[in-house]
Amino acid sequence: MSESSPLLDVRGLRCVIPTPRGEVQVLSGVDVSLEKGQTLGLVGESGSGKSMFARSIMGISPPHARLEGEINFAGQDLLTLPKKAARRVWGKRIGMVFQDPMTSLNPVVRIGRQVGEAAEKHLGLSRQQARKRAIDLLELVGIPEPAKRHRSYPHEFSGGMRQRVTIAMALACEPDLLIADEATTALDVTVQRQILDLVKSIQTDRQMAMILVSHDLGVVSDRCDDVAVMYAGRIVEKSPTDRLFSDHRHRYTEALLQAIPRFDTPKHSHLAAIEGKPPNLAALSTGCPFAPRCAHEIDACTEAMPPMRSAEDELHWFACANPSRSKELLS
């Protein structure tokens, strides 16, 4: 990989899943580029394709899914790389933190063993070395008395502590890229902030690239360099984070921002909601998939899928036929 090449360069990624009702195109030509040390926020409603994008990078998409395009990581295309070689990348150079720690942790294996297993496998550490590494990692992520607690089982930890353990697991091999897939959704707000701050601190210290997947724009607002907004398996807007909040263009981004609760609204006010429901990915119509839910729909919205275009420069891209030009919708 040359000095100027991005660490992760995804081009035209498509994911098609065959079903009894026809093929479902979960991802439709996704393009993402990420530099070393950069943080990308990936946001959108449930079903927008965020998690499938993350799982495609990690090689854990459904076994019957068909992937097309390129996932170039450190100069290697993970889609064409032999499975044995790709496994040396997954888990070692790319780590992932999942939404529900109880589905990531084995309930009958001690925590320390689970944390140290990846280092033992990928880095060739002895059982004793892996145990020490696990204790060090548990201390890093804020587990009290790690030398004692590493012998505990997952059910002996709270939800927030279990999520800290999964972060330690993802960091075991000091990856170049960390993917956090809705890693704090099941946690209360206070614990959520602690976990997000922890991940950001570790990412900064280790100069890792990170993809922070969330349905909440508030989560990514002060933790990401860039934000990509997904809808119906596509990225519909991508820009530096501050610009997305102050000068968004896509109407779906606008709707997401309006749905964020604000402290300056009167008491007992109704929360804004996005009318309608996400599209059926097995039967997408011609045009913008958000058009049926958009209050600003024009004829061009239904005639063809709007292409991605640049807003003044090549840092801000959006795919909207009737874009918003609102300023400071969310102060």
- For residue range 248-275, what is the model confidence (pLDDT) as tens digits? 999 999 999 988 877 777 777 777 788 8
User: Are the C-beta atoms of residues 134 and 109 closer than 8 Å to each other?
Assistant: no
pLDDT of residue 2: 47
Q: Residue 96's closest CA among 171, 190, 161, 203?
A: 171
Cβ atoms of 194 and 138 within 8 Å: the answer is no
Q: Which of 180, 243, 239 is CA-nearest to residue 215?
A: 180
User: What is the pLDDT averaged over residues 127-146?
Assistant: 93
- Between 142 and 4, the more confident residue is 142
Q: Decide which of 192 and 316 is more confident.
A: 316
CATH architecture of 8-93+175-318: 3-Layer(aba) Sandwich (3.40)
Average pLDDT rounded to a whole number, residues 99-112 = 89
Amino acid symbol at 24:
V
pLDDT tens string 288-322: 999 999 999 999 999 999 999 998 778 999 999 99
Q: Mean of the pLDDT values across residues 61-88?
A: 92
User: What's the mean pLDDT when you consider all of the chain?
Assistant: 89
**pTM, two decimal places:** 0.89
* 32, 235 Cβ separation under 8 angstroms: yes
Query: How far, in Å, CA of 92 to CA of 189, rounded?
Result: 31
Cα distance between residue 36 and residue 112, in whole Å: 29
> Nearest-CA neighbor of 259 among 247, 245, 271, 250?
271
